[in-house]
A and B are shown apart, each in its own frame.
Chain A
Amino acid sequence: DAGVTQSPTHLIKTRGQQVTLRCSPKSGHDTVSWYQQALGQGPQFIFQYYEEEERQRGNFPDRFSGHQFPNYSSELNVNALLLGDSALYLCASSVFSGTNYGYTFGSGTRLTVV
């Protein structure tokens, strides 16, 4: 049973560029959440997608946007990259009306902005 798959695993971008990160949820999961984890910090909630709509959003600027596809996979887009966007980006999938602890995380995409 495949878990959450994220791609790419590593990425180096230049300040001002745009980046797209991808996530395939665990089989049977219909909801995707994205988190940003800076070095030495806990993950910070960016947003959550269900039924192809953004359901919740954390305290992140509009430069961060996302999309969910009919097969439940999701993309995270970041425009006008800043050095401070360097972090591990984690995708977590879950069932929308499921248990309160049923989140499965991927291994993340490590983004470095230079």
Chain B
Amino acid sequence: QKEVEQDPGPLSVPEGAIVSLNCTYSNSAFQYFMWYRQYSRKGPELLMYTYSSGNKEDGRFTAQVDKSSKYISLFIRDSQPSDSATYLCAQNTDKLIFGTGTRLQVFP
């Protein structure tokens, strides 16, 4: 079992849709989770980070961690074509353990 699992997609949605991106993790000893956005031919950039359980909101983005089910989610409201990118979830275990990444395309 991989330490962090993520559905690779691709996910294609119309502009304005709500997008839900999900990951599961296996190591409960570490509770810092991050979501990165990676545009083509670029490095990952930090979008959101969360600690332990709960929600965190930043503009159109909401990150959620469910410790009981070892599930982390990123919700994007009112999605825009500029949100088209690969989204990577990561767990900080003194090094970053990434999921496979989910390719998202938002079409006008």
| A residues apposed to B, CB below 8 Å | 4, 33, 35, 40-45, 48, 56, 58, 90, 92, 100-101, 103-108, 110
Q: Which residues of B contact A (CB under 8 A)?
A: 4, 6, 8, 32, 34, 36, 41-46, 49, 51, 88, 90, 92, 94-101
Interface centre among A4, A107, A110 (most CB of B within 10 A): A107
B residues near A90, Cβ cutoff 8 Å: 43-44
Is the CB–CB distance between A107 and B43 below 8 Å? yes
Which residue of A43, A101, A106 contacts B49 across the interface (Cβ within 8 Å)?
A101
With a 10 A CB-CB cut-off, give which of A92, A103, A107 has the most chain B CB atoms: A103
- When chains A and B are docked, how far (Å) is the Cα of A94 from the Cα of B96? 12
Q: Which of chain A's residues have a CB closer than 8 A to the CB of B36?
A: 105
CA distance A110 to B42 in the complex (A): 10
Q: Which of B41, B42, B94, B96 contacts A43 (CB 8 A)?
A: B96
Given contacts A42-B101, A43-B96, contact A103 B46 (CB under 8 A): yes
Instruction: Other than A35-B96, A41-B100, A105-B43, give 4 A-B pairs with Cβ distance below 8 A.
Output: A42-B4, A42-B100, A92-B96, A103-B96
Closest to A106 in B: B43
* A24 nearest CB across to chain B (Å): 13
- In angstroms, how far is the closest chain A Cβ from the Cβ of B28? 16
Interface-centre pick from A45, A56, A101 (highest chain B CB count, 10 A):
A101
- B92 (CB) vs chain A CBs: closest residue: A100
Chain A residue nearest to B30 (CB atoms) is A100
